């Protein structure tokens, strides 16, 4: 049997039970008595039970009505709570946003944006997940976060990549290195120098491999002698004088590299794209959309060294 009962039937029943009168209940619900009577008849016909008894002075609940009343009250309460939660989410009065990004993006770029957003929408929770390029994609794919900020690591067909920044590549050298005072360096000037690299599973390594092939460069990526999985570990190795390393400027701008020198590479000047990564077909909540807009506005006015907007 098809159930055609709606929340209005429940509200009518509960209001009559509370008032003990069709007349007062109709007034409170802003209905005519005939409409209210028809609504209760529909409810009783659907239930195949009489829920209310009318006397000359008062409307009383039947035994079945007494049993059903707390159930109806809970259903109304649950409905109102759920709908109010939806409204609060729509008006950004509550909710939670998840963002996945590289450690350098989280430490270098996002803090002022998150602070500004939190001051504007203090009831919205925000959780940040730092990860490498493949991890960012996976977190977005699994709906663990609303969106990610990173490079297009594997061009997943289920993901959308919207470029927002281009981050220039350069070389990182220790203090005292003979290249340390240069303002810019050609790629061919570093081809014979010992190099340290991030491991194969990182976005930077895969991007360098692609750049090497596309631009006919010798970046010593094949069988690299010393590799490390994190930029912080890489920075410590560079400080020892073991070698130099190739990184995008954002990765080289974190605290781990404070004692080192980043020099942009030229001839050719090469960049990595930083993208907003989202899942195709998945709508963002109003809160997530608002944060994303704030991030885009920040990027459009960025003055980070070696960064350019993708439109430029």
Chain segment 162-192, per-residue pLDDT in tens: 998 888 999 999 998 999 999 999 988 888 8
Q: Give the pLDDT band of residue 306 (cuts 50, 70, 90).
A: very low
Are 187 and 240 in the same domain?
yes
Are 226 and 240 in the same domain?
yes
Tokens of 40: 């209760």
Domain extent, residue 230, equals: 167-271
Q: Give the pLDDT band of residue 132 (cuts 50, 70, 90).
A: confident
Q: Backbone dihedral region of 148: left (phi > 0), alpha (psi from -120 to 50 degrees) or beta?
A: beta
Are 237 and 203 in the same domain?
yes
Are 191 and 209 in the same domain?
yes
Q: Give the pLDDT band of residue 309 (cuts 50, 70, 90).
A: very low
Are 52 and 183 in the same domain?
no
Are 179 and 36 in the same domain?
no
- Would you say residue 237 lies in a domain? yes
- Would you say residue 1 lies in a domain? no
Out of 89, 110, 132, a domain closes at 89
Are 106 and 190 in the same domain?
no
CA dist., res. 221 & res. 245, Å (int): 11
For the chain, give the DSSP string: ------HHHHHHHHHHHHHS-HHHHHHHHT--HHHHHHHHHHHHHHHTS--EEE-SS-EEE-HHHHHHHHHHHHHHHHHHHHHHHHHHHHTTSSEEEEEEE-HHHHHHTHHHHHHHHHHH-TTEEEEEEE--HHHHHHHHHTTSSSEEEE--SS--TTEEEEEEEEEEEEEEEETT-TTTT-S-EEGGGTTTS-EEEE-TTSHHHHHHHHHHHHHT-----TT-SSEESSHHHHHHHHHTTS-EEEEETTGGGSGGGTTEEEEEEESS--EEEEEEEEETT-PPPHHHHHHHHHHHHHHHT---TTEEETT-
Out of 39, 72, 89, a domain closes at 89
Can you give the CATH number for the domain in which 150 is found? 3.40.190.10
- Would you say residue 217 lies in a domain? yes
Out of 89, 115, 136, a domain closes at 89
Chain segment 249-268, per-residue pLDDT in tens: 988 988 889 999 999 999 88
* Contact indicator for 219, 270 with CB cutoff of 8 Å: no
- Would you say residue 292 lies in a domain? yes
Question: What's the mean per-residue pLDDT of the chain?
Answer: 85
- Would you say residue 298 lies in a domain? yes
Q: Looking up tokens 């500004």, which residue turns up? A: 116
* Contact indicator for 114, 298 with CB cutoff of 8 Å: no
What's the structural domain count of the chain?
3
Are 118 and 263 in the same domain?
no
pLDDT at 302: 60
Are 248 and 279 in the same domain?
no
Are 182 and 259 in the same domain?
yes
Are 222 and 294 in the same domain?
no
- Would you say residue 266 lies in a domain? yes
- Would you say residue 240 lies in a domain? yes
- Would you say residue 2 lies in a domain? no
Within 13 Å and on the Cβ side, how many CA atoms surround 305? 15
Chain segment 69-97, per-residue pLDDT in tens: 999 888 888 887 777 666 656 655 567 88
Are 103 and 145 in the same domain?
yes
């Amino acid at each position: 049997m098809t159930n055609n009962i709606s929340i209005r039937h429940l509200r009518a029943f509960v209001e009559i039970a509370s008032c003990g009168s069709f007349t007062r209940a109709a007034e409170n619900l802003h209905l005519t008595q005939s409409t209210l009577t028809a609504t209760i008849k529909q409810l009783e016909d659907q239930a195949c039970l009489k829920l209310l008894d009318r006397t000359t002075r008062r409307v009383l609940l039947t035994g079945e009505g007494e049993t059903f009343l707390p159930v109806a009250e809970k259903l109304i309460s649950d409905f109102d709570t759920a709908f109010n939660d939806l409204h609060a989410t729509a008006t950004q009065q509550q909710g939670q946003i998840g963002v996945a990004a590289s450690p350098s993006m989280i430490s270098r770029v996002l803090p002022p944006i998150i602070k500004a957003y939190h001051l504007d929408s203090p009831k919205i929770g925000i959780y940040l997940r730092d990860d490498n390029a493949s991890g960012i994609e996976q977190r977005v794919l699994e709906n663990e976060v609303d969106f990610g900020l990173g490079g297009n690591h594997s061009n997943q067909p289920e993901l959308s990549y919207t470029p927002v920044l281009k981050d220039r590549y350069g070389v990182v050298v220790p203090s005292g290195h003979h290249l340390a005072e240069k303002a810019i360096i050609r790629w061919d000037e570093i081809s014979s120098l010992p190099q340290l690299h991030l491991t194969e599973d990182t976005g930077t390594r895969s991007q360098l491999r692609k750049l090497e092939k596309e631009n006919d460069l010798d970046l010593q990526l094949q069988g690299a002698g010393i590799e490390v999985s994190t930029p912080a570990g890489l920075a410590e190795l560079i400080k020892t004088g073991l070698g130099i390393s190739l990184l995008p400027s954002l990765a080289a701008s974190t605290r781990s590299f404070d004692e080192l020198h980043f020099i942009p590479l030229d001839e050719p000047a090469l960049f990595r794209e930083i993208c907003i990564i989202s899942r195709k077909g998945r709508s963002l909540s109003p809160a997530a959309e608002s944060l994303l807009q704030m991030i885009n506005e920040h990027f459009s006015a960025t003055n980070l060294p070696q960064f350019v907007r993708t439109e430029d």
